[in-house]
Amino acid sequence: MKHIGVLAVQGDVAEHVTAMRDAVEACCVKADVLEVKTNAALSRVDALVFPGGESTTIGKLLRNFKLDAGIRTLADSGVPIFGTCAGLVLLAKEGDAQVAKTGQPLLGVVDMKVARNAFGRQRESFEAMLFIPVVGKEPYHGVFIRAPAIERVWSKAKTLCEFEGSIVAARQENILVTSFHPELSGDLRLHELFLSLL
C-alpha cells in the first residue's frame, strides 16, 4: 500500500485530498491519501501533493514546523511531488522581484524562475481551456486563482503547457508543477499523470 501525502499546513487541502482519492480510485492504485502536518507523517509518504494557498504564509509555516528540509530530501530522493499554484512558487529555484520583496522562502528544487501573481490579484482570477499534450488531445479546464507563472525553465525542467506566452505547467523528473488548480477542475488527468510517477 502506497501513502500519498497532501501537505496540510495551509491552503486548499481538502480539495486535493478529494481529487487525489478520486484519481486513486479511477486508476485502481492501492494507495492511502493522508494529510501531512509533521515530519513523522512526511517520512511515511511515497508521494506528496503541495497545494495552493498563500505562498508566503506556507513558506513560513514550513520553516516553523521544520518541514522544508524534509521536502527537499523527498525531492532529491526521487519521491513524486505535485505542486500547484503556491506549491509551484515554493518549489522554484528563483523568483521575481515580488518574491524578493516579500521575502518569500523558496525550497529551490525545480529549475525554474517564477513570477508571483503573474496574472493579477484575486479579482483577476479566471478560467481557461488549456492544451497539455502529455495528458491527451482534449482541452484541460484550468482554474487560475491569483496565479503565478513560470518565467523560464532550464536544465532538467521541461515545459508541459503555455498560456498567453507564460509557462503554466512543467515537469522536472519526479516533480510536476502547475500555475492553476487541477483539484478544482473536475478533470483527473493531471492527478493520474502524477500517480504514474509512483
Measured from the Cβ of residue 40, the count of other Cβ atoms closer than 10 Å reads 9
- What would the mean pLDDT of 56-80 be, rounded to a whole number? 92
Which residues, in sequence order, are bridge partners of residue 126? Answer: 144
- Is residue 148 within 8 Å of residue 115, measured between CB atoms? yes
Helices (runs of H) and strands (runs of E) counted in the chain: 7, 12
Question: How high does pLDDT run on average in the chain?
Answer: 94
The answer regarding whether domain 2-196 maps to CATH 1.10.520.10 reads: no
Strand pairing partners for 71?
none
Summarize pLDDT for 5-48 with one digit per residue, the tens. 999 998 889 999 999 999 999 999 999 999 999 999 999 999 99
pLDDT of 55: 85
Residue-wise pLDDT for 48-67, tens only, equals 999 988 888 888 889 988 99
Known catalytic residues are 85, 181, 183
Q: What is the pLDDT of residue 164?
A: 93
User: Where do the structural domains in the chain lie, given as residue ranges?
Assistant: 2-196
> Which set of grid coordinates corresponds to residue 61?
509555516
Decide: 110 and 93 in contact? Cβ < 8 Å. Answer: yes
Measured CA distances, 7 to 1, 62, 125, 151, 188 (Å): 19, 10, 23, 25, 19
CB 119 within 8 A of CB 149: yes
Cell of 90: 515554493
What would the pLDDT profile of 116-170 be if each residue is shown by its tens digit? 888 877 778 899 999 999 999 999 999 999 999 999 999 999 999 999 999 999 9
- List pLDDT tens digits, range 96-124: 888 888 888 899 999 999 998 888 777 78
Element spanning 142, H or E? strand 140-144
| pTM for the whole structure | 0.95
Which long-range CB contacts under 8 A does 62-71 form with residues at least 24 apart?
A: 62/9, 62/90, 62/105, 62/107, 63/105, 65/9, 65/37, 65/38, 65/39, 66/39, 67/7, 67/9, 67/38, 67/39, 67/42, 68/105, 68/107, 70/39, 70/42, 70/43, 71/7, 71/42, 71/107, 71/109
- The b-or-e profile of 114-128 (16+ CB within 10 A means b, else e) is bbbbbbeeeeeeeee
pLDDT of residue 102: 83
Cell of 89: 512558487
